[in-house]
Structure 1
């Protein structure tokens, strides 16, 4: 049995799933599409020296010289990747906030539309791998908003940056080697090998080692292409991953207990998990993630909202009241992003500015009094 109080989730958590004498890289790949200057690769002496040494290690693992030359041409150190890696533990969300981000009504509607568009393909994938179509669609929705946010950072740059940085050097060097093997196999090209800041790739955000182990060529064109606008290989690869990690046909992921928080100290929904809950966690080892995917899948398939409400947060505000607070700040000219009820950095900055303008104590915290002032 899982309740709201059991959850904490890092939005940046990962889904646990050279030749000597080479010249240092000095150019920047034109295909790097990020507009954030901190996410654009640039050559640095330290990174280039690390790459020179790595090339020898990679060659010892069977990576051919021409693959190394093509892969590292135009790559570089990405400072924003290191910043995100070092700061990821600061971004914790309650289960309520997490659902407000990944399974809000806008994403549910988008999911139902994407599901309808891919219905025949998802049905064929379900028939082959035994994983329900709505589960695969929900992973797609959580990981990349149905393919609209696949990442635009060169994977060779991001993984080599994190391997060079050293905090998780061994892990990311393994990802870098796996990415090079992807290129060596011909599944994609260095220009198309892009992903998130931590090297997760494609529609369903496979890290390179998971891609090596589980990606499939569902279309039969000879390439396991999870980067294409056609999501077929990516969706099938996700189903293959879940199937090979023990998905049980006909078993549940979880069910909400409509009476689960009576006579207990639980606040909000209570779930009774099934065997497939643990399988979803193999994709990303987080209770929030597995519940978010399962809940979004149920909503995509036509299910309704959760029966139990979450109640007020530690500031005494419900989700709808937090949305009202954000709308009030937006009406005052402050940028809070989409009013989703999640009090993140934009909302806190807006609260601080409003408090300063009104001569209130500047805390950045939402409150009932602040909501009244905005009304």
Structure 2
């Protein structure tokens, strides 16, 4: 209310106080100080929505400098407060009036790698608050998607996990509407087809090059094989997130990538955690209601997998068929004979 009613008159006074709060040295007070600062900033952002352009330019020049300082001083205890700051500051607002905070959040992932895993994951975490605007910021989602998809083989697992969540959110709004297809948001089919090509390359690299070379007492990890395995693991997580977050997760490209989700079973066979995630991601497809045109294409892919020379892939496909039939009993009935031949 203060900033809405009195404009930027109080900004300078509060900015000085905010710097004091985020640089609190007393350990017991740091968390509370960040919480107070985050609530003040949220009030500033919400209160500034009716300011003039000149007032906003001046305000965001000061606030951007402050927020950059905040991002350098984030900790596990204070991150949630700043995420809530942006969430509450942007909640139920018109994105056209909030383009400055939106652009600031998007810019967080433009910074060069700092080597600090927590700070990098924190930036991706803060970026998630753009979901407040859902489908109303398609250009932002496209920009995020373009940048994030190049980082799927990032060396740090925590960062890859956060990237997969943001990527799945960027693909959430590619839906078929009653009056046609949404075309302004990132296209799931194009994205998954691109992933499929890269996944095939990663499989070839990993199968060609051993992950570890033992020479005497020294174990050397091959960087290309490690990168390929990182990508494979990330694709598994991304596929699962798509089904948990997307409004219409089943697309033709999801069916086309399915054989590769069976093929990598042999690669992750010795890693219980990844293997469990891979099983879950295949079950996401099996448990989804499959329309006739998807069912036909999926069975063709299953026939291809079941003729594969890889035993792990064939076993994964057979297990998948059993669950798919259970969840799509009536849809699968016209294909009973073909499915029986695959299983028996």
**TM-score, normalised on structure 2?**
0.25
Answer 1 or 2: higher relative contact order, Cα 8 Å, separation at least 6.
1
**TM-score, normalised on structure 1?**
0.23
Which one has a larger percent helix, Structure 1 or Structure 2? 2
